[in-house]
Amino acid sequence: MTEHGPPDAASEIEEVKEIAADLRAILPTRIEAAVQRALEAHEGAPVDTRVAELHALALDTAQRTRALAADVRADRISRVEDLEVVVDLLAEGLGAVRGDVARLEERSQRVEKELERVTWALDRVGTQLERLAEGDPPAPGA
């Protein structure tokens, strides 16, 4: 994490790619240098000893490469898990919003029905008031 928030996934992937490219460029040179040092250090040593040292160097290089690949894999898995958490949170949030909207719609419909009922009652009262003002008797049952 940086000081300002989570690291940028693209920049981290780019960094891992750069490290891998550096290793591809550097490893052959390092292996050649190691072979050369081994040969120079053991000029008089038997070939079996030199081959054993080269074999050990090759094994070490392979082990380090496997470790780097495991680190890259673990980083990718971690990113996928982080994305799963974000998706789950978004899905929960959207579900809650949908529920809130559905409840608001129900309330709105109830308020609309009540307003229609009140409007109907006011229209009826207005009609009766107009009849009274005109001097007509109220309608029976009104």
Q: Does residue 1 belong to any structural domain of this protein?
A: no
- The pLDDT score that the predictor gives to residue 140 is 62
Task: Give CA–CA dist 135/108, Å, rounded.
Answer: 40
Q: Does residue 4 belong to any structural domain of this protein?
A: no
- Per-residue confidence band for 2, with pLDDT thresholds at 50, 70 and 90: very low
Q: How many CB atoms lie within 10 A of CB 89?
A: 10
* H or E segment and range at residue 111: helix 47-134
The residue whose two tokens read 């109830």 is 110
pLDDT in tens, 5-40: 556 778 888 888 888 887 788 878 887 888 777 777
Overall number of domains in the chain: 1
Half-sphere exposure of 13 (CA within 13 A, CB side): 8
User: Poorest-confidence range of 1-15, 23-37, 49-63, 78-92?
Assistant: 1-15
User: What residue type is assigned to position 46 of the chain?
Assistant: P
Instruction: Classify 141 as helix, strand or coil.
Output: coil
- Give residue 104's domain range: 9-134
